Structure 1
Amino acid sequence: MGDLHPVTIVIIITNVLFSMKGFKDYSFFEKYKFNIGAIRRGEQIRMLSSAFLHANTQHLLFNMLSLFFFANAVIYRLGVVNFVLIYITSLIVGNLLSYYFHKNEYHYSAVGASGAVMGIVYAGILLNPGLTINFFIPGWLFGVGYMIYTIYGMVKKNDNIGHDAHFGGAIGGYLITLFMAPSLLQTSLLMVIILAIPIVILFVLIKMDKI
């Protein structure tokens, strides 16, 4: 993957510092986590701040490792500004989708950079279809597999993971990357179709009222 770009390092450090503060300070964690009731009372800052908090070190590590593997593929193809734009857009779309699904559940809460990171994962796969993780796991397999797991979690609703934010982030990253690089519809059409499959499945399940 080469050396990490400074902007990726800044994002990782910000996530680590913010999350570590949240691990140690319960009131800080509660003040900035994603919470439907608080957001509906006007605390929209939580739509952003919650993406820099994590439930535990494993949660933080998984997200930062995923960002590590896919960030450069986006930065070196689209540039730093577009990378940051994809990250933030995916973060917001992820939390908006989470808000849509849980808007009447005033006690619903969630944390994590998963939405933003999954947007970068999807963007990285589109821009570099041959990307691998640890030199042997295809990036597209990781992305699609994770989205299938996310759909399963959204259907079962038997854990405390914000699966809908993950999915929203992937959708945001997918769409904005195609908008920024429409030539991918010609040069990487197969990958565009493969990554669209979980998104189509999600909308079919919503239409069938399964989610």
Structure 2
Amino acid sequence: MELSITLIIVIATAVTSIAGFNNQKVINDLIFYPPAVTNRRQWYRFFSSGVIHADWLHLIFNMVALYSFGQLVENGYRYTDGIDYGFLQIFGVQRGKLFYLLMYVSALFVSLLPTYLKHRNDYHYRSLGASGAVSAVVFAALLLEPRSGVSMFFLPIAIPGYIFGPLYLIVSHMLARRAADNINHSAHIWGALYGVVFVLSLSALYSDYDIPRSFVEKVQMHLSKFF
């Protein structure tokens, strides 16, 4: 049985994160610390910070989201209309796996770039977790299948992806402006936007699959059930 790219990322992230729970040196060596990038050119921290997490809840939340939406983006699934959606179907198996891995890894960097520019000389700032890259995967999934329901702990029901996406960005922007918690909402926003741009760009270059048209048709199909 071949492991999916998604599952490999989940396993690698979980193993490293768990190791860091009981070893502060692991956290210190891998965490995103902007001055270390500025002064010591430790660019790897853009990526290494994505395989460590603050605690079990942080890890579980990110990995459940990654596995749930990552399987859709990577492998697709059979929806009610009987058509598969995913990188493997849109780009082909080998290219699809490569593009999926490239999206995830590059999202780790892109999602933290605005944070770095803001805090590059801030010796009190640190950030960790895969939330930026996970947001890229989630929004790629919502772009490919906007009818898929999204549920959160604070939502009593699942809401369609095409509604959840804009709401998520609006709420994240508000929370980022307030800066009242220790969550890097900026990484969530930029990761989400990057996921959409990445999928649209590569599909335009390497596939005949018209994602914008498909997105609109699926939303219209879903809305037709109510109107």
Q: What does the per-residue CA deviation read over 1:75-102, in whole Å, with 9 as the maximum and x for residues that have no partner?
A: 1321222211111121111111211222
Q: Does 1:129 pair with 2:146?
A: yes
- What is the aligned partner in structure 2 of residue 201 from structure 1? none
Residue 36 of structure 1: how far off its partner (Å): 1.0
- What is the aligned partner in structure 2 of residue 45 from structure 1? 44
Residue identity in the other structure for 2:183: I
TM-score, normalised by the number of residues in structure 1: 0.81
Does the residue aligned with 2:42 lie in a helix, a strand or coil?
Answer: coil
Q: Does 1:163 pair with 2:185?
A: yes
Q: Distance in 1 between matches of 2:139 and 2:25?
A: 34
- What is the aligned partner in structure 1 of residue 91 from structure 2? none
Q: Residues 145 and 218 of structure 2 are in contact (CA less than 8 Å); yes or no, is this contact kept in structure 1?
A: no
Shift in CA distance, 5/128, structure 1 to aligned 2, threshold 3 Å: farther
Q: Does 1:95 pair with 2:112?
A: yes
Residue identity in the other structure for 1:80: K
**Unpaired segments ≥5 residues, structure 2:** 76-85, 88-95, 152-156, 205-209, 220-227
- What is the aligned partner in structure 2 of residue 207 from structure 1? none
Q: Residues 90 and 171 of structure 1 are in contact (CA less than 8 Å); yes or no, is this contact kept in structure 2?
A: no
Q: 1:118 aligns with which of 135, 143, 146?
A: 135
Q: Residues 6 and 74 of structure 2 are in contact (CA less than 8 Å); yes or no, is this contact kept in structure 1?
A: no
- What is the aligned partner in structure 1 of residue 97 from structure 2? 80
Q: Residues 147 and 218 of structure 2 are in contact (CA less than 8 Å); yes or no, is this contact kept in structure 1?
A: no
- What is the aligned partner in structure 2 of residue 195 from structure 1? none
Does the residue aligned with 1:188 lie in a helix, a strand or coil?
Answer: helix
Q: Distance in 1 between matches of 2:108 and 2:30?
A: 15
Does the residue aligned with 1:31 lie in a helix, a strand or coil?
Answer: helix
- What is the aligned partner in structure 1 of residue 194 from structure 2? 172
Does the residue aligned with 1:109 lie in a helix, a strand or coil?
Answer: coil
Shift in CA distance, 52/140, structure 1 to aligned 2, threshold 3 Å: farther
Residue 165 of structure 1: how far off its partner (Å): 1.3
Task: Name whichever structure is richer in helix by fraction.
Answer: 1
**Unpaired segments ≥5 residues, structure 1:** 193-211
- What is the aligned partner in structure 1 of residue 223 from structure 2? none
Q: What does the per-residue CA deviation read over 1:13-64, in whole Å, with 9 as the maximum and x for residues that have no partner?
A: 1111111111110111011100111111211111110011111111111111
TM-score, normalised by the number of residues in structure 2: 0.76
Between 1:67-76 and 1:119-128, the stretch displaced more is: 67-76
Map 1:13-28 to 2 at 5 A: 13-28=11-26
Residue 189 of structure 1: how far off its partner (Å): 4.2
Instruction: Report the number of matched residues.
Output: 190
Q: Distance in 1 between matches of 2:182 and 2:122?
A: 14
